[in-house]
Amino acid sequence: MREAQFLKQNADKWKQYETILVSGSATDEMANAFIDLTDDLAYARTFYPGSNSVRYLNGLAASFHQKIYKNKKEKRGRIFWFWQFELPVLFKKYQKQFFISFLFFLVFALMGALSAKYDENFVRLILGDGYVNMTTHNIETGDPFGVYKNEDSISMFFFIAYNNISVAFVGYVLGIFFSVGSIWMLLRNGIMMGSFQYFFISKGLGMQFLSVVFIHGTLELWSIIIAGAAGLILGNSILFPGTYKRSVSILRGAKDGLKIVVGLIPLFLTAAFLESFVTRHTEMPIIFNIIILAASLFFIIWYFIIYPNKLHKRILQKNSHDNSDFFQSNFIQWYSRKSS
């Protein structure tokens, strides 16, 4: 059977299934529809591999699967599974958005640094006169990073953690404005970071800045970049629904973006702990600074890049099909069977 005939024969049935998916709850009717869809998907994969039909049926079947099992009692290892499998799957799927978010942030940081270099008032405009005057005084008195010692560690921890987590969630939600809101968040934070760093470089404290501020800044800035990517995922699901209905695409993008932002909370808590309890000790041996920086970089590279790619290859070996959408939905189904 040709693909066009296959589509014509089943189009009305699939539209009916979409209606069941949107309006229904997990019933026998939905379960039967899911079984029928998996049969159609298997047929399409066999005779029309790599086609739009496969991608459409794959997405529809995955949506049915999630709706049927969303109220299923969670297994004891659910949280562990989230960190070990579900998040890395999303990191692999959306690695393009992560890279774009990183480029945006890098460009905006360079803009901030160049603006600070050619306009001495720019730093005051971005950071405020109070902060610049205080930091200038600290530099003159031989304690350039004294700002990290001004508050109690515990209260500082809670304030920083709450502020950064709030920024991340706002950056994600702003993605609903066709990704522009999330790019604005990256612009704001990137320019602030670039001008902040150049201020210390202009005072001859560039290396000290890297060794002190990036104790916490490595995880913190990377988390901001990933939060921006989560917003891009949400925005792109509106702009580019692909073969999915726009409502289905938005729901998928919103869920995936939210999972990624929630997954950043431990990183923000760790960064807040380092900033509140460790960064203030500017007198500690430089070797400890290097160890913390290296450990942070290693974690980022391993958990966000190396491990997701290894997991991707491992699951593809189980499914023997190199398709990103197929990979994600079949991974969910594979794990469900494995843990039942």
Asked if 103 and 60 sit in the same domain, the reply is no
| pLDDT above 80 for 8 | yes
51 pLDDT band, cuts 50/70/90, is confident
Asked if 100 and 190 sit in the same domain, the reply is yes
Asked if 267 and 173 sit in the same domain, the reply is yes
Asked whether residue 336 is assigned to any structural domain, the reply reads no
Asked if 67 and 180 sit in the same domain, the reply is no
Give Cβ neighbours of residue 327 (< 8 Å, ≥ 6 apart): 89, 92, 93, 312, 315, 316, 319, 321
Q: Which of 238, 221, 150, 135 is nearest to 186 (CA)?
A: 221
Is residue 185 within 8 Å of residue 167, measured between CB atoms?
yes
Asked whether residue 9 is assigned to any structural domain, the reply reads yes
Which tops the pLDDT comparison, 7 or 105?
105
Mean pLDDT of the 8-24 span = 80
Q: Convert the pLDDT of each residue in 77-102 to its tens digit.
A: 677 888 988 899 999 999 999 999 99
Q: Which amino acid would we find at residue 269?
A: L
- Domain of residue 56: give its range: 1-72
Asked if 95 and 33 sit in the same domain, the reply is no
Q: Convert the pLDDT of each residue in 132-183 to its tens digit.
A: 999 999 999 999 998 898 889 999 999 999 999 999 999 999 999 999 999 9
Asked if 42 and 100 sit in the same domain, the reply is no
Q: Convert the pLDDT of each residue in 98-119 to its tens digit.
A: 999 999 999 999 999 999 999 9
258 pLDDT band, cuts 50/70/90, is very high
| pLDDT above 60 for 65 | yes
Asked whether residue 101 is assigned to any structural domain, the reply reads yes
pLDDT (0 to 100) of residue 70: 61
Could you say which DSSP state residue 326 is in? Answer: H
Rounded to whole angstroms, the Cα distance separating 95 from 281 reads 36
Asked if 114 and 30 sit in the same domain, the reply is no
Asked whether residue 128 is assigned to any structural domain, the reply reads no
pLDDT (0 to 100) of residue 72: 53
Is residue 328 within 8 Å of residue 93, measured between CB atoms?
yes
pLDDT (0 to 100) of residue 46: 81
